[in-house]
Structure 1
Amino acid sequence: MSSVELDLRRLGPAEAPLRSQLEPVATAGRLVVRGPVAGLSGALAALLKAGRTAEVPVAWEPAADKASTALARALGIGSGEPRDLGLVRDDHGGVLLHHGRLEASGDGRRSLSRRLGLQAYHDDIKVADGEITRIDVRPDWTAVDTIAVTVMTQPLRPIRQTSGRALQVASDPARIVRDGVPYVRPVDRWTWYADDRVRWRLDP
């Protein structure tokens, strides 16, 4: 199997790669992804669907935006040896590398002024029960199979932060954003979890 290079540098904000752009991923022997976080997330989701995350080394040439720069720093892009990393997944077939958000359904504008009712558990801890403003989720690259969760109940009020493996949410219709890309429709149930059965190989 040959090396496959995906040039996704033209992806716009809030834009995911097209299925046609990701077709070569399933048969790649090595993968090079150029572009923003959403491009790398899409490529890893395609590898996951093909059941080949542990087999295919992935190199990433990040874009210059803030999210890409932050993730590249967290992953140690440009330094170190190839290594196997955990993967944060959701129950709708996606992966999360940098930042996920759950908020009231809408177009995302003035999101802090809207609230939604939900119940959320981070592992066995109830982190929300009632109306909140939003939940933010970030993979913790300094730990193994861990996600950090932040619950904002109201703007300018103290937030609640927890660390664990899985977040499960049941809610009013909610908007999901995965690595900058909105999910295609509102949801009333969502799970993000660090899958300890899956690894992907980063070639930094």
Structure 2
Amino acid sequence: MARWQGIGMPATQLDLRGLAAEQPPSRRHVASVVDDAEEVRVLGPVPALAAVLARLWRRDRLPAVPVAWEPADDAASRGLARALGVGSGAERELPLVRDDHGGVLLWHGRVTAFGAPRRPLARRLGSQAYNDDQRVANGPVTRIDVRPDWTAVDRISVAVVTLPLRPVRRTTGRALQVASAPAQVTRDGVPFDREVTKWTWYGDDRVRWLLRP
């Protein structure tokens, strides 16, 4: 932990550049740095930024605590940095996509059959899913992919793959609700720590976070 002189008051620096692109940081470590910070500068991959925003949300400190991000050099970090315009422009208040298990989603979420091999097309998942009032799945699917839409406010993009080589069903909306057989959820590359049979991602219109350029 270090102090970094940003815009206005000094910022607390959280250096998580040692994390792999799909490795979550220690919750205890994040809390020890973030809980008393007046401004945070995060160095590291997407899961590091997601962990900081989730902690600030749990402490009811969004958007009072501005966040700056120096992304890692992996594909997800580069993609998210481009989408957010990191390093350019002015300070901005941004929406937040949350889930009903206390996490946030910044770049990519996925739902697949629990216990499936790492090859995403190897098994199918019985599911029913709605993107707002649109039914996007009703039966076996290979996977459901979700991305925050950073060109809009409180909106996510959903892609449902039923079978390889079949057309992908794409929709947009504020929320995705999934009920399924035991499923594995992955948030920004990090697998959720247990199987689930229900999951919701949604753009929370009550929450905003402040990104420092």
TM-score category of the 2 structures, normalised to the smaller one: over 0.9
Identity %: 61
Please say if 1:58 is aligned against 2:49: no
Unaligned runs of 5+ in 2: 1-8
Residue pair 2:108, 2:187 contacting (<8 A) in 1 also = yes
Cα distance in 2, alignment partners of residues 27 and 142 from structure 1? 32
**CA deviation string 1:160-185 (max 9, x = no partner):** 00000000000000000000100000
**Counterparts of 2:54 and 2:174, CA distance in 1:** 19
In structure 1, the partner of 2:17 is: 9
RMSD across aligned positions (CA):
1.1
CA distance in 2, matches of 1:18, 1:165: 30
Q: In the alignment, which of 33, 54, 59 is matched to residue 45 of structure 1?
A: 54
The answer to whether 1:170 aligns with 2:179 is yes
For 1:21, which of 12, 21, 29 is the aligned residue? 29
Where in structure 1 do 4 or more consecutive aligned residues deviate above 2 Å? none
| CA-CA distance at 1:3 after TM superposition | 2.2
Aligned to 2:98: 89
Q: TM-score, normalised by structure 1?
A: 0.97
The residue identity in structure 2 corresponding to 1:10 is: G
Match of 2:41 among 12, 29, 32: 32
Question: 17-26 or 141-150: which moved more?
Answer: 17-26
- 1:118 correspondence with 2:134: no
Q: Paired residue for 1:183? A: 192
Cα deviation, 1:51-77, whole Å, max 9, x if unaligned, reads: 011101100000000000000000001
Could you give the per-residue CA deviations for residues 85-106 of structure 1, whole angstroms, max 9, x where no partner exists? 0000000000000000000112
Normalized against structure 2, the TM-score is what?
Answer: 0.93
Amino acid aligned to 1:162:
T
Q: CA deviation at 1:107?
A: 5.6
Q: Flag structure 1 segments of 5+ consecutive residues without an equivalent.
A: none
Q: Summarize deviations over 1:26-70 as a string: whole Å, max 9, x none.
A: 221000000000100001000000001110110000000000000
